[in-house]
Chains A and B, each alone.
Chain A
Amino acid sequence: MRRLSLAAAAIAAVGVAPLLLTPFQVTLANNIGIAALVTLGLVLLTGIAGLTSFGQAAFVGIGAYAAAYLATVVELPPALAWLGGSPWGGLALGLALALAVAVVLGAVTFRLAGHYLPLGTIAWGLAIAFLFGTADSLGGYTGLSGIPVLSLFGVRFDSGGRLLWLIWAVLLAALLVTANLLDSRQGRAIRALKGGQLMARSMGIDVVRAKMAAFLIAAAFAAIAGWLYAYTQRFVSPAPFSLGAGIEYLFMALIGGAASIWGAVVGAAVFILSKEWLQDLLPHLAGRTGNFEAVVFGLLVIVLMQHMPDGIASAVRRAARRARRPRPPSPAAGDTAAPLPMRAKPRPGEVILDARGITRRFGGLLANDDVSLSVRAGEVLAVIGPNGAGKSTLFNQLSGVDRPTAGTIVFRGQLAAGSSPRAMARHGLARTFQHVRLLPELTVLENAAIGAHLRGRKGLVAAMLRLDRREEAQLLAEARRQLARVGLAARCDDRAGSLPLGQQRLLEIARAVAADPCLLLLDEPAAGLRFEEKQELAGLIDRLRCDGMAVLLVEHDMDFVMGLADRVFVMDFGREIAHGRPADVQADPAVLEAYLGADA
């Protein structure tokens, strides 16, 4: 409802705008619309996926030059001749080129650490701006002029007002498509990038692919903006696509608040209007002409990043959230959705995970020394030991995060030592994290649905066009079911970050179980929990066991483990020191010494 009325209001505002605004204001509104489209892509990239690009202006340039080239150059090369004349040809060419460049840039930087993409975009943004300025066929520094009036479906966009309709219609469509995407399985995968790659990979998300999706969408939006720009100005030259312009787009995203799609519109509007104002005002103050607004924006962004790194829109939103009443719970429509298919489960008692002779050496440190253990379906195995005993290292070997120096791991009959967390997830392993890794800004339901990522199939385009609703309902219904299983049904629509630690841990388990795993790995699930919370957690783990799940939990809280585990595996100094039923292990003198300390 809220969405519909918002959309209606936006359409109405755009509809009447050309009638109310002066021609100068219409031009400004068009500039803002085009910039907001570019910024929207950056918001997705920077604020939501945690990547950044300084080179968006170059993508805009590709879109603009593709349109201008096809529309103005008389003798096109034979390969492009069939595209000539039609604005659609220009749009297609611009998009194709921009996406191709984005694929190459993404492919060479996404596996590297985070700063390679921004630096790569700086270098490429400079290179492309120089290319526009030097290529003779693109008009050099004088550019290409004489672009005809845009004509689509027989409508001539020959006035600022008509262009305003077109630009803002495209912008609203892009906002809608982006909002759709974020509210889908693929969108959650992109948002999960910010929760740390380890979490994303452990949920079976292809991190490189998710980054690529965000980057391609941002490039596509920029190319479309370029196409609009070319037909608005009816003239292109290299200057507006320089690296400096790319930096300005990033500033718009940061000012507006890189984490909200409406921040794109706010940021573009604030930036363009205040630039206009400053360009009038500052030369008067300084008594000479110059690029003074750049100084102001530079300082503004520095102060902003120091005090409000999430941007203005986010700060306002946070304040509003504090003031607002909680939203009414969304209808549990998912309950009618058909359940998702489940994987074939092992028989009770079947060995699911079998680790033999696991050894892990870090330099001179032997963190795991010849550790062997196995887990069966329907049992809880607890690995315990004092701090520094090597439990976390073992956990990393078993979950595919780290590769053992020696030893084999067989998971469901397949050799698994050193395979990736994604592969382990696909084969039915799900895990939680010692330091809770949730996406605090997403709802509890969305967080849980990330766990079911591998159980969906629909792609980006389907998500943007809302063709994924049936599957999405199934995924959300599954998430809701698992949340009910852990006792969080009532908090589905709360922000995950607002839950107390105990419930956050339960949410992590719901997220893990949503993947329909046959082995659940829990990393210190009781750490920091209150007594009642521990009881609740123990009850939950017990229920999961009764449903046939194998549970391996690493803990150093002995009390928690003793009443719960079927078997206990005690480690110290990276080795097994005891193994067996809880009561036997407790009486073991080696265990006593490990826990209480030897006499000095």
Chain B
Amino acid sequence: MTTPLLLEVRGLSVAYGQVEAVSDVSIAVGAGEIVTVIGRNGAGKTTLLSAIMGILPSRGAVRFAGEAVAPFAIGERVGRGLCLVPEHRALFGSMTVADNLALGAFRHGADERRASQDEMFALFPRLAERRSQLAATLSGGERQMLALARALMGRPRLLMLDEPSLGLAPLIVRDVFRIVAELRERGVAILLVEQNARAALAVADRAYVLELGRVALEGPAAELARDPRVAASYLGIGGRHRDGPPDALNPTPRMSYTASEPPGAGPTATPRPGEDKRP
């Protein structure tokens, strides 16, 4: 890799009680890079992002722009340019689109905020039309746009997106990925967690495959997209031997788990297969 490292995660582990949801994960994102993390349902992807953001306590080292972020609270990480758009968008539903955007640049001055807002309205013309509408009344696609725009208002250096295409119609998914590609042109690095593996691998420079909380594979996205082990792992075949032999319940290895996490479910609610410790 020739680009300087923006985010460097080394040996990161997150445990909920006795269950380790992410074990010894090391990933890196270079400046201006798009990196994707894919994996099956419950592989620990959302947990990984939450730990990097400081929402969950973790062990291991996370360095951002050459600085260890461990002492920083979430807000301080945001201030340093590390931003997360969570799976459920976390918009301020009872506030207008314009207010949501303004709060995205909460830490900036008024002039800068206005400039960023104009920029966002240029990037997302739909939001400009709906600027005085309440966020809760937006459609799914518009919400995702607003969540992206709100995060961009803070002028992040690295934007982490958790399942940005979740629940969106194909046309809108295409839009989202177009914007993701465009952001790279603006110098924003992206760490993308996606259920839509094909789209994610198509847009990313590099990719990691997360399996049972560990990095199973990594490499350039284009290579991984062709790698049969990715298809197998991502689609659940690779993980099956841990669960047990294929049987009548799994008649079709062709199709399997979606690589998404259940809404709001941490690993406490859904321990990963094979890791839940019985007394």
Partner of B249, one of A363, A365, A560, A586: A560
Q: Is B226 an interface residue (CB 8 A)?
A: no
B197 with A596: CB separation less than 8 A: yes
Which residues of A are interface residues toward B (Cβ below 8 A)? 362-366, 386-389, 392, 434-436, 498, 500-502, 524, 527-532, 534-535, 538, 556-560, 562-564, 573, 586, 592-593, 595-600
- Of the A-B pairs whose beta carbons lie under 8 Å apart in the complex, a sample of 7, sorted by A's number, is A363-B136, A387-B262, A528-B272, A556-B41, A559-B256, A600-B196, A600-B199
CA distance A584 to B79 in the complex (A): 52
* Closest chain B CB from A577 CB (angstroms): 12
The 7 A-B pairs of least Cβ separation, nearest first, read: A388-B167, A528-B270, A597-B196, A531-B243, A600-B199, A363-B137, A531-B244
* Closest chain A CB from B205 CB (angstroms): 15
CB nearest to B203 among chain A residues: A600
Q: Is B257 an interface residue (CB 8 A)?
A: yes
Q: Is B166 an interface residue (CB 8 A)?
A: yes
Query: Which chain B residues numbered 213 to 250 have a C-beta less than 8 Å away from chain A?
Result: 235-236, 243-244, 247-250
CA distance A395 to B254 in the complex (A): 28
CB nearest to B256 among chain A residues: A559
Instruction: Count how many chain B residues have C-beta atoms less than 8 Å from C-beta atoms of the other chain.
Output: 57
* Closest chain B CB from A281 CB (angstroms): 42
CB nearest to A594 among chain B residues: B258
Q: Is B128 an interface residue (CB 8 A)?
A: no
* Closest chain A CB from B274 CB (angstroms): 6
B276 with A500: CB separation less than 8 A: yes
A364 with B271: CB separation less than 8 A: no
A573 with B273: CB separation less than 8 A: no
Q: Which of A365, A524, A535 has the most CB of B within 10 A?
A: A365
Residues on the B chain within 8 Å of A386, using CB: 167, 195, 258, 260
Contact status of A562 and B276, CB under 8 A, knowing A388-B167, A524-B262, A598-B170: no
Known: A387-B167, A387-B262; 5 extra A-B contacts, CB below 8 A, are A365-B139, A366-B139, A386-B260, A530-B273, A556-B41
B196 with A364: CB separation less than 8 A: no
B271 with A528: CB separation less than 8 A: yes
Partner of B265, one of A363, A389, A527, A593: A527
Residues on the A chain within 8 Å of B165, using CB: 597
Residues on the A chain within 8 Å of B248, using CB: 563
CB nearest to A435 among chain B residues: B269
Q: Is B142 an interface residue (CB 8 A)?
A: yes
Query: Which chain B residues numbered 24 to 51 have a C-beta less than 8 Å away from chain A?
Result: 41-42
A527 with B270: CB separation less than 8 A: yes
Partner of B197, one of A436, A557, A560, A597: A597
Partner of B262, one of A365, A500, A527: A527
A387 with B195: CB separation less than 8 A: yes
A501 with B276: CB separation less than 8 A: yes
Residues on the A chain within 8 Å of B121, using CB: none
* Closest chain A CB from B228 CB (angstroms): 15
B169 with A364: CB separation less than 8 A: no
Residues on the B chain within 8 Å of A531, using CB: 243-244, 273-274
A596 with B260: CB separation less than 8 A: no
CA distance A559 to B251 in the complex (A): 7
B262 with A600: CB separation less than 8 A: no
Q: Is B95 an interface residue (CB 8 A)?
A: no
Residues on the B chain within 8 Å of A534, using CB: 249
A387 with B274: CB separation less than 8 A: no
